[in-house]
Structure 1
Amino acid sequence: MLLAQSPLYAQTNVLESTQDNEAALTLPAVTVTADKTEKLIEDVPASVKVLTGEELEQSGITRFEQLEGRLPGLAFQPFGQSGINSPVMRGLTANFNALSTSTLLLVDGVPTLTAQGFENHFVDVGRIEVLRGPQSTLYGRNAEAGVIAIYSRPMANQPRTMLSTEMGSRDKRSTRFALNRPLVEDTLYASISGEWQTQDGFIRDNYAGGKADDRQRYNLNLGVRWTPGTDTDLVFRYSTQHYDDDAALWGSPRVSRREVASGTPSWNRSVGQTYSLNVSHEIAEGLRVRSVTAVSDFKDRVRQDTDFLPRELTFIGRDHRLRTTSQEFRLEGDLGDSDWLVGLYGDRSDNDLHNIAKLPIARQDLKVKQYSDTLALFTHWNIRFAPSWSLALGSRVERYSTRIEPKGGDNQRQEWTHISPKIALQHELSPGSQLYASVSKGVRNGGFNVLAPAVDYLAFAPEKVVSYEVGAKGEWFDRTLRYSLAAYVMDIKDMQVMQMPVPGVIYITSAASGTSRGMELDLEYLLSKRWSVQAGIAWNRTRFDHFRDGNANYDGKRNPFAPDLNGHLGVRYDHPNGLYGQADLVASGKVYLDASNRYRRNGYGLVNLVAGYRFGAWDVAGYVNNLADRRYDAVGYQNGYVTVYSPPREVGVRLTWRM
């Protein structure tokens, strides 16, 4: 955690930026693209939180799960498998079997539409923006609860090199690198970055011997940027992620220790790839056109024991291939102090789904082809109608169609049309301080229960949210303190909830309605040239107003996987001679794992420490994550049949060289 952070579009190196900030003793300006146009964070009428790449590196954050609580209001379902994350934002989440998410992931403008592939290891990242609250107007059906947008460091004339190596607990070994070079000055640039990491597991296998959950991954990112003229910018990117893991972090709820006795080999061999082309061209002064073309391909290949016994009684397996092609066109313009955009978006998905499950009395082998198409037209206007008043207006019309072709079953098709409007009013109290109020609608797409042949692959309806939000943000004490406070109420219809009434029967129902209420507070404070503090807390209360499923009554129950409270407190010290240290407390309340609120993961508080020394181009740091070795296992996942183990304490050292 680093408060005296570099500007988000910084072209200077990290050390120079930090020294400038210390000399000025003011927080740097933060620019975000929350509404697809660059604005200062205090000018955006929404709850927005930013982490810079510098903060990620110095905190050792290399996977999404580490952002839980660190970005207040954001959490993830405990799952225990690499390459899959189901985000939870403002109490809303989606099961990964729905093949959708409640919070959209964008990496350099490229959308990830499923929990499969919802991962990034933050190599050569410039910043992460988290937009809390419905963003369907600009970003579509998977931005029902918010957006996580990741932006790589820019390719530019200034050369950039980074090489980092790390060693830690359980024989952890990691190498990360990044290289940016101009091939033709002012015209052609290239970048390459990547990571390789391996680490022994912590779950003992008393039958096979050794550890059950060893991990290995590598990822690679390539980029080329071409600026044939001052008005045109083309960026091509390619990224790939490979996982070579053993078992998920699963065990039996009947065993309190992190032990299994598994006679069924478990593994994860998933692979993801993404290609993208981002083009922008300034047609005339104040008038621009942008295009984002992307192709993603994720292979979800998993086999997992579920009885954790020497005999092969039960296991599950997946061999999915999820392919999506998307295209967005935008026309943007400026009108004095106001700005506008109109856009067209479309995507097409082609998924081959293969699920295998061995049950005590039967074996399932399900093959389903799923296709979907999206077409949307959207617009957004920021209008300043008085010196201290502005109005944001937007709307999106989106048509989504999906069909399935199950082997041995009947083909089915569903179509939905969504209209997602948004209006926000903002008042400037003083330079840098704002009040705002907004009303917006969020949508998550419907689909089919691809794992439920027993109920004829039952369809579930889209989930719909209407959100009412008020907030205040700004800077105090000569720009040494930045604050953001938001309060909201969300009315939720057709809530999608996963049910597992008996082993082997899993389905998603959209029979619930609910209400989500909450508040979010973010603070950043420069105590002095050497000391800084950052804190954030999010309170949320999401409950079913009405939910009946068969004879079961879930009225008043908590939505699964949604903590009522999470947040963090961090303190950092930087000495001019290069010494630094930081301490973070990250905490989350308990979450329930099912609609009946029978099974749960207890709340937790984790203390993470980092201390290091910079000298010249070198940076050496030691760290301890989860200092007290707290356990916060999810006991009762999959309706009581699985425990998802939490990771233990980890100690390590990093050596980084930058030029």
Structure 2
Amino acid sequence: MPFPLRWPAVLALAPLAAAAQSQTPDAALPVITVSVNKQAESLDAVPASVSVFDGTALESAGVRGLDALSAQVPGFGFQAFGQSGVQPPVMRGLTANFVSFSSSTLLLVDGVPTLMAQGFEHNLQGVDRVEVLRGPQSTLYGRNAEAGVVSITTRQPGEAPYASASAEAGNQGQRAGSFELGRALVPGQWYLGLSGEWRAQDGFIREQGTGERVDSRERASARLALRWTPTAETEATLRYAQQRWDDGAAQWGSISAPRATVNSGTSSWNRSRGQTLSLDVSHRFASGLKLRSITARNVFDDRVLQDTDFQPADLLHVGRDYRLATTSQELRLEGESQALGGARWLAGLYLDRDDHDLRYEQRLPAALMRPTAALQGSTAALFTHWTIPLAERWTLAAGGRIERNRVKLAPMGAAAHSDDWTRFSPKLSLQYQWSPQAQVYASLSEGYRAGGFNVFSPAMGHAPYGPETVRAWEIGAKGRLAGQRLRYAASLYTQQVRDMQVQQMGLPGVVYITNAARARSTGADFELDYVLGSGWQLQAALGLNRTRFGAFRDGAAVYDGHRNPFVPDLNLHVALRYDAPRGWWAQAAVQGTGKAYLDAANSYRRPGYGLLHLSAGYAEGPWEIAAYLRNAADRRHDAVGYLNGQVVVYSPPREFGLRLTWRM
């Protein structure tokens, strides 16, 4: 088996999914409304694989980032990277390296896209809900949603005031504080929402000479929402969000050194920043049509200096000073067609522009290179989606998107390169609602990721790589049983991937993208949320995936039949929670992940692992105190051989702490 269940499990703060955890004991699971198809609809009626998490439940259980959340989602995870603020996602066998400046999974925060691994993070504080939609979603969301979408909706301020504050302390010098508040400034018209968090932790990797810890972590974030409702039909929300990191070295080391030690002559650090400004305006016309516009500016400053040889002399290191800026505009109109039996439809226009300033630094034994480049891109797309009732229990959903992408690379001191691609991405699903609480469905969809250039590979002539395309078939079933106390979902899928973009690594810091001829990804997702009764609640998720290259030649190397790097064959999550009548609760969760290779040759890997997390708390009135223990057995799952065998990415050790929260 790829994941040995006999291993001691990690005690992870793994909350129950929103549907189970946010309810009182023995209550029926509620009807959950989602917007994964950019229209409000019941989770039970969506013909797709969707996981939904309630923000309050995530906050109570201490899930404070997308990496922790991903452990609860079938077929979803992140590459082992070890640097804050840069998280290349992995979903259903598809992933993208950060050097491609694109991602195979799209992150949306209040409709604002993050299109690459840089900035693919959120602390999940001040969140209303998180929706994770798996499978190609290029029809509605474009080129960076070929594997799926993570959509975060933050809490919207309204008439009812709310406030909370939290303080936390734990081992390894953990300390944190956060707050959130919302209230009406002018009742019926103006509302304000604010939230912020600061979190710091000492490192666990020690410098051999001094004994000092070199990988300390510090993160801060703040968000503001100003909402205006001049009429019952119109509202506008101005949002600003900022996140910053002030870290020491990456959680890296030499494969030949004692674990969690370095002997480095280079002072490594990460001082990255992210900022987002957006305006979200919607209006409902008397005819029932709804118009929505989302205008956004998303900027991420990726600033890192990192040793890669871990020697007293400064022989090898890499540095990044990138400003990654994307301006986007989406305009969409939705309504119903009585001529088609009440069919719901949506049509939209999407535009974006990338303006990236890239300054890279690479120290080699013989030279210090500092290449600079400007990378620009643009997208223009038209899309539509229709949900059409065919008969009493049958529904057809169909959509399409025509998208044009342009990329221009201008390296300093070299000739510019440019290319463009146009792609039509369709989607079709057929759904049979065989009972009011259950359905089966089948879908066909296509995904797409644009090509690009190897920005910092002058020896290769900044070689281009082509678009990656995916065609996916999926069948699934979902519903509720046991008096509405059990929700289940299961799906089987297969994906044909052509011209797969695969990362290759030479010397440390020398990473390039090339196209594999083809690959296939097949798998299954299973989810279960069950209110057992007498205060007990259960959540389980299982993802199985097999992604293999069909034909892949890279020079003289032959990788036919090899696994796609960073993709495990299995991930598992099981959580059990008990809520006592007198306000205390306890929770245990097991998390498991299969082995994942780190290169196309499948020479280096991160082993499969199992983790166990525990937490417990007591609530009295507005106060709650909680204790947590993550990775209770202190299991290690280091990624050994990153950067073509040069680096090990260390897994973090056991963590424990206390959290005190006040909520109004």
- TM superposition score category, shorter chain reference: over 0.9
- Relative distance call for 1:569 and 1:6 in structure 2 (3 A) is closer
Q: Would you say the 8 A contact 1:612–1:619 is kept in 2?
A: yes
Deviation at 1:66, TM superposition (A): 1.2
Q: CA deviation at 1:31?
A: 1.1
Is the 1:208–1:261 Cα contact (8 Å) retained in structure 2?
no
- Distance, in Å, in 2 between the alignment partners of 1:513 and 1:138 is 25
Could you list the per-position Cα deviations for residues 364-386 of structure 1 after superposition, in whole angstroms to 9, with x for gaps in the alignment? Answer: 21101011010000000000121
- Residue deviations 1:42-66 (CA, integer Å, cap 9, x gap): 1111000011112311321112221
User: How far is the alpha carbon of 1:439 from its aligned partner?
Assistant: 0.4
What percentage of aligned pairs have identical amino acids?
A: 52
C-alpha separation in 1, matches of 2:441 and 2:47:
6
Tell me if 1:499 matches 2:504.
Answer: yes
Cα distance, 1:145 vs. partner? Answer: 0.2
Pairing of 1:10-89 with structure 2 (within 5 A) = 18-19=23-24, 22=25, 25-89=27-91
Find the aligned partners of 1:92 and 1:558 in 2 and give their Cα distance: 11
State the 1:553 CA deviation.
Answer: 0.2
Q: Which residue of 2 aligns with 1:537?
A: 542
Aligned to 2:187: 185
1:400 matched to 2:400: no
Alignment correspondent of 2:554: 549
Q: Once the two structures are superposed, what CA deviation does each residue of 1:563-584 show, in whole Å capped at 9, x if it has no partner? A: 0000200000001210101001
How many residue pairs get aligned? The number is: 648
Match for residue 312 of structure 1 among 301, 306, 314: 314
Are 1:629 and 2:634 an aligned pair? yes
Checking the alignment, whether the CA contact within 8 Å between 1:369 and 1:405 is kept in structure 2 is yes
Task: For 1:506 and 1:5, locate their aligned partners in 2 and report how far apart those are by CA, in whole Å.
Answer: 39
Report if aligned partners of 2:86, 2:117 keep a CA contact under 8 Å in 1: yes
Q: Give CA-to-partner distance per residue, 1:103-138, whole Å, 9 cap, x none.
A: 000001000011111110011111110000000000
* 1:508-551 deviations in Å (ceiling 9; x for gaps): 00133100000000001111040010001000000000000000
* Alpha-carbon distance in 1 for matches of 2:508, 2:107: 32
Determine the C-alpha separation between the residues in 1 that align with 2:311 and 2:282. 57
2:161 is aligned to 159
Decide whether the 8 Å contact of 2:352 with 2:378 is kept in 1.
yes
Q: How far apart in 2 are the matches of 1:572 and 1:411? A: 58
**Counterparts of 2:218 and 2:71, CA distance in 1:** 26
Range 185-194 or range 335-344, more displaced: 335-344
Counterpart of 1:348?
353
Shift in Å at residue 309 of structure 1?
1.5
- Once residues 90 and 423 of structure 1 are traced to their aligned partners in structure 2, the CA distance between those partners, rounded to angstroms, is 19
Task: Please list, as runs of the form range in 1=range in 2, the aligned pairs for 1:477-488 lying within 5 A after superposition.
Answer: 477-488=482-493
Candidates 555, 560, 569, aligned match of 1:564 = 569
Contact 1:198 1:215 in 2 (8 A): yes
Question: TM-score, normalising length from structure 1?
Answer: 0.97
User: Is 1:527 the equivalent of 2:532?
Assistant: yes
Opposite residue 79 of structure 2, the aligned amino acid is Q
Aligned to 2:418: 413
Aligned 8 A contact 2:308 2:508 in 1:
no
In the alignment, what sits opposite 2:129?
Answer: 127
* Alpha carbons of structure 1 residues 525 and 352: separation in structure 2 relative to 1, 3 Å: same
2:621 counterpart of 1:619: no
Q: Does residue 168 of the first structure (1) align with residue 173 of the second (2)?
A: no
Query: Which stretches of structure 1, 4 residues or longer, exceed 3 Å deviation after superposition?
Result: 1-7, 501-505
Report whether the alignment pairs 1:359 with 2:364. Answer: yes
**Aligned-pair CA distance for 1:229:** 0.1
Offset from partner CA, 1:616-656 (integer Å, 9 cap, x none): 00000000000000000000001101111101000000000
Q: How does 1:97-246 map to 2 (within 5 A)?
A: 97-246=99-248
The offset of 1:417, in angstroms, is: 0.3
CA distance in 2, matches of 1:179, 1:469: 42
Aligned counterpart, 2:251: 249
* Structure-2 residue corresponding to 1:296: 298
- Counterparts of 1:567 and 1:294, CA distance in 2: 36
- Runs of 5+ unmatched residues, structure 1: 8-13
How far apart are 1:284 and its partner, in Å?
2.2
AA partner of residue 446 (structure 2): K
Once the two structures are TM-superposed, the CA of residue 79 in structure 1 deviates from its matched residue by: 0.5
CA contact (8 A) 1:4 1:526 kept: no
Alpha carbons 2:19, 2:53 under 8 Å: kept:
no
Question: 1:657 corresponds to which residue?
Answer: 662
- The amino acid of 2:640's aligned partner reads V
CA distance in 2: counterparts of 1:112 and 1:4, whole angstroms: 24
Residues 1:447 and 2:415 aligned together: no
Distance across 2 between alignment mates of 1:312 and 1:639: 20
1:5–1:28 Cα contact (<8 Å) kept: no
Aligned residue number for residue 434 of structure 2: 429
- Please give the alpha-carbon distance, in whole angstroms, between the structure 2 residues aligned to 1:475 and 1:616: 33
What residue number does 1:11 align with?
none
Deviation at 1:503, TM superposition (A): 4.7
Letter in 1 for 2:121: E
Q: Distance in 2 between matches of 1:186 and 1:474?
A: 38
Cα distance, 1:481 vs structure 2: 0.7
Q: 1:400-419 deviations in whole A, cap 9, x for unaligned?
A: 00101101211010000010
Aligned positions of 1:587-626 closer than 5 A: 587-626=592-631
Do the aligned partners of 1:557 and 1:596 also contact (CA within 8 Å) in 2?
A: yes
For 1:184 and 1:70, the matched residues in 2 are separated by 40
- Select the residue among 381, 384, 390 that pairs with 2:389: 384
Q: 1:463 aligns with which of 455, 462, 468?
A: 468
Compare 67-76 and 182-191 and name the one that shifted more: 67-76
State how far apart, in whole Å, the 1-side matches of 2:28 and 2:124 are: 27
Provide the aligned C-alpha RMSD in A: 1.3
Task: Describe the shift of the 1:470–1:6 C-alpha distance in structure 2 as closer, same or farther (beyond 3 A).
Answer: closer
Structure 1 stretch 525-534 or stretch 514-523: which is displaced more?
525-534
Distance 2:435 2:74 in 1: 27
Stretches of structure 2 that go unaligned for 5 or more consecutive residues are 1-13
Q: TM-score scaled by structure 2?
A: 0.96
Deviates more, 1:216-225 or 1:199-208: 199-208
Task: Give CA deviations for 1:201-253 in whole Å, capped at 9, x if unaligned.
Answer: 00011134310101111110000010000000101100001111010000001
2:248, 2:453 → 1: CA distance?
30
* Distance in 1 of aligned mates of 2:508 and 2:431: 51
**Cα drift, residue 285 of structure 1:** 3.7
2:323 corresponds in structure 1 to 321
Tell me the secondary structure at the aligned position of residue 71 of structure 1: coil
For residues 151 and 490 of structure 1, the distance between their equivalents in structure 2, rounded to whole angstroms, comes to 29
Over 3 Å counting, the alpha-carbon distance change for 1:365 and 1:298 in structure 2 is: same
Q: Return 278-287 or 125-134, whichever deviates more.
A: 278-287
- Alignment check: 8 A CA contact 1:195 1:219 kept: yes
Give the distance between the partners of 1:377 and 1:324, measured in 2 at CA: 19
